[in-house]
Structure 1
Amino acid sequence: MVSSVLAPVQQRGREALQRLGLPTRKQEAWRLTDLKRLEVLATLPEVSETSNPLMPEVSDGVTRLVLGGQMDPLDGVSLPEGMTPLTDAELNRHLGQTLYHCGCSEAWPVELNHAHSQHVLALRVCGKVSDLELVLATGAGLTATRVLLLLESNAELELLEVFPSGSSSSDGQCAHSHVLEVHLGQDARLNHGVLASGNGDASLMAHLAIEQEPRSHYALTSVCRGWRFGRLEPRVLQLEGQATTGIHGLSLTTADEQFATHSSMRFGGPEGELDQLQKAVAADRSHSIFNGAIQVPRAAQRTDAAQLSRSLLLSRRARVDAKPELEIIADDVKCAHGATISQLQQEELFYLRSRGVDGDEAAALLLRGFCCEVVDRLPGAAKAWMASGAIADPSRPL
């Protein structure tokens, strides 16, 4: 049953989808998207029952919540001190605000989520709290999940969102739509990890909207592999500047998979900082996409922003598209960007082979080194998922 707070949101989302229709290649954000796969995702029925994913033991000091389908993630769970659910009145007041401020409240993936979400996990965080792990379970059909986090001034949280491999329906079609809203108060700190491991047939669309007040710190590390069709969209807004943002992402694609990362960073005031690194590894006939937009308006003087995209092609048939977008109006800034697309370096392979390492092992070592620069930044709870085999080690060769 849809909650009373989400019922009108769901209705508006359905009306918006009817009005908007499917995205087209005439829209720049969707120009490279495999729209046939998107159409399949959009027509999937809502999941009736989520499967129980293989999960490791909960690490000490970590609170685990499982979201998906019609389940209440807080049922039978004791939240740690400093973390409390929002009341319906607070939820009505805050739900959708960050999406609106970040300019994505009417984006097609968000409206898709609005139309299908039946529950929202809404939490307030005060002070330094224990780590939070959100497991996004799925099943046959389309699963929609929604999360709202309010971090008060000086709050500190380490958050890991895990999208484990879900069971597919009889024809291999299952998908996950996820929307996360986070508001960081002054001096708040959030270390946010996204570990998404598909089964090769599933689809994922995740929209992350983050707004930061002055002196807040936000660090996002995303590692995604195994999605036949995937789209991750982190959108960050520094409301008045004077905040620090770090975005580090890794996507791995193989077979005929397509995965796209569309990031957006806007500085709303002076003295903001951004450190962004996006990596991709594409094998076989797969397609990896990165679009990184940075906006520095006139009010954002003394901004210091750096964006780098690095991609590896492991096959002649693989494809990588990287497109940085910098819009700079302020005149007192430091903004740098770069993009490289390459193969494994023959000189490095030769060096390892000359010291007795066979060719396959040498390539695996170089690939692991390329991936670990991002993987090692994931929150500590991610290690338990990879060590247990519940999530494939993202730094393994494809």
Structure 2
Amino acid sequence: MEIIEQIKTNQLIDNPTEIQKICLNKLQSNPLPNPKSELWRLSNRSKFSNFLDYSVNEKDPKFDTPYPYNSQNIIRLIIGEDSQISLIEENYSIQQLSDNKLDKYIKQKISCFDQNEHWSDLLNLSLSCPKNILGLKINGSKIPPIEIFSHASSNSLNAKTLVIFLEKNCNIELLQVNLGKENSSLSQSTFIYLEENSSLNHGVVSYGEDKSHLLNSLNVIQQKNSEYNLGSLHFKFNYARFEIRIEQSAGNAKTNIKGMQITKNNEQIATHTKIDFNGPNGFLDQINKSLADDKSHAIFDGSIIVPKIAQKTDASQLSRNLLLSNLAQIDTKPQLEIIADDVKCKHGATIAQLNDEELFYMRTRGITLKEASKLQLSSYFQEIISFIPISKDRWDLLDKLLNEN
């Protein structure tokens, strides 16, 4: 693993920034995450090693987005290409954060990082050159939907960082798309701060090509009376890891999460979530789905933390999983850590296969086995897809998934 050796000698970047130096120094003492840690225990070491085997590429080739762009209906940004920022600032309440503000915020975050829990973020920030860090401050409620793309080029490792501040009373829709080319690795870290009375409908869609890899980390802080809705989908990666950390910093906030990972062949895709309630009257409704086929491995590890200060918390976490092969694996572990005594919290997990009775019923009506299976999968996918803020006329996710599986 060439990157780890470079980290140990602090020679990864030719002219590292101060943030890169801080992260590289932290990684020198902890160059790889602890495999005995519950956060990393199930991670396939061989596949994880493949993620680290590519050289860092700071210069992205020209990127073709997967569907047409209509500038009247959406705002589209590609991390690493800032040609649109000035146009956006002229027409909407969106400002690009200055380098000083970005540095100050990121340094503050780094100071609180646990080197094992935040290993993915430390790696990302040690690799992200300034042109691949995008910071935005958004104000207002009449802003078109925003799409932000991150991509990895073939035979290289690309690192991208996104920082977004939503000011008071701001209400937006944001779609992030992470794309991996063949034989590539993409590191993506996102930091989102929601001020009081702000609302964000956030979609994260990640898909790759043959032998592509992804480390995707999402860090969200919610102030009082804010609402954060996340719909996520990860598929077609040889190895992918999605880390979600959400903190309701003072309570009285709402969080809704609906996510899914789909694995087939020999892939491994994992979702790890941690939701912290640091005040009263917090709300969480979380559903995570996994679908595993062939010899693949899907993982869900969810944690809800409710300290004594978080009275009147109402939190629900459900893991629903579908096995399509006897050789596939699904590991699921929803968890509650509750100290507060006046709460409503529940969690659960199910693992099932396609319903044979429903398949038989549809086949007796002249529907082929393949089409009957697609109908069942369509119902399974739809709950998650309908929660992702993406326009059907530009990209039919359901059709794409049914054709992939």
The more displaced of 21-30 and 125-134 is 21-30
Letter in 2 for 1:149: I
The alpha carbon displacement at 1:17 in A equals 2.1
- CA distance in 2 between counterparts of 1:105 and 1:82 reads 37
Q: Does 1:394 align with 2:401?
A: yes
Instruction: Provide the residue aligned with 1:162 in structure 2.
Output: 177
The structure 1 residue matched to 2:391, chosen from 360, 364, 381, is 381
5+ residue gaps, structure 1: none
- AA in 1 matched with 2:177: V
- CA distance, structure 1, for counterparts of residue 197 and residue 113 of structure 2: 20
C-alpha deviation, 1:44, in angstroms: 1.7
Tell me the matched-pair count: 386
Counterpart among 115, 134, 143 of residue 121 in structure 1? 134
Of 227, 231, 242, the match for 2:252: 242
Equivalence for 2:145: 131
Offset at residue 395 of structure 1 (A) = 4.4
1:213 corresponds to: 223
- Give the equivalent residue in structure 2 for 1:58: 69
Render the CA deviation track for 1:338-365: whole Å, top value 9, x for unaligned.
Answer: 1001100111112212222121111111
Deviates more, 1:21-30 or 1:221-230: 21-30
Aligned with 1:270 (options 272, 280, 286): 280
TM-score normalised by structure 2 residue count? 0.90
Pick closer, same or farther for the CA change 1:54–1:123 going to 2, 3 Å: closer
CA distance in 2, matches of 1:354, 1:147: 51
Cα pair distance change 1:216/1:223, threshold 3 Å: same
- CA-to-aligned-CA distance 1:146-167 (integer Å, 9 cap, x gap): 011011110111100012342x
Identical pairs, percent: 35
Name the structure, 1 or 2, with higher relative contact order (CA <8 Å, separation 6+): 1
> Relative to structure 1, is the Cα distance of residues 214 and 75 closer, same or farther in structure 2, using a 3 angstrom cutoff?
closer
Q: Which moved more, 1:270-279 or 1:26-35?
A: 26-35
- Is the CA contact 2:203–2:390 (under 8 Å) kept in the aligned structure 1? no
Distance 1:104 1:394, change over 3 A: farther
User: Which one of 112, 132, 135 corresponds to residue 123 of structure 2?
Assistant: 112
Map of 1:151 onto structure 2: 166
3-state SS of the aligned residue for 1:135?
strand
Please provide the CA RMSD for this pair: 2.3
Q: In structure 2, do the counterparts of structure 1 residues 99 and 249 end up closer, same or farther at CA, with 3 Å as the change threshold?
A: farther
Distance 1:310 1:334, change over 3 A: same
- In the alignment, the residues of structure 2 paired with residue 34 and residue 152 of structure 1 have an alpha-carbon distance, to the nearest angstrom, of 40
- Give 1:13 deviation, angstroms: 1.8
Match of 1:67 in 2: 79
User: Structure 2 stretches of 5 or more lacking a match?
Assistant: 1-12
1:112-134 per-position Cα deviation (integer Å, ceiling 9, x unaligned)? 10111013111111111221100
SS in 2 for 1:30: coil
Which of 88, 111, 120 is 1:78 aligned to? 88
Write the distance in 1 (CA, Å) between the matches of 2:259 and 2:203. 10
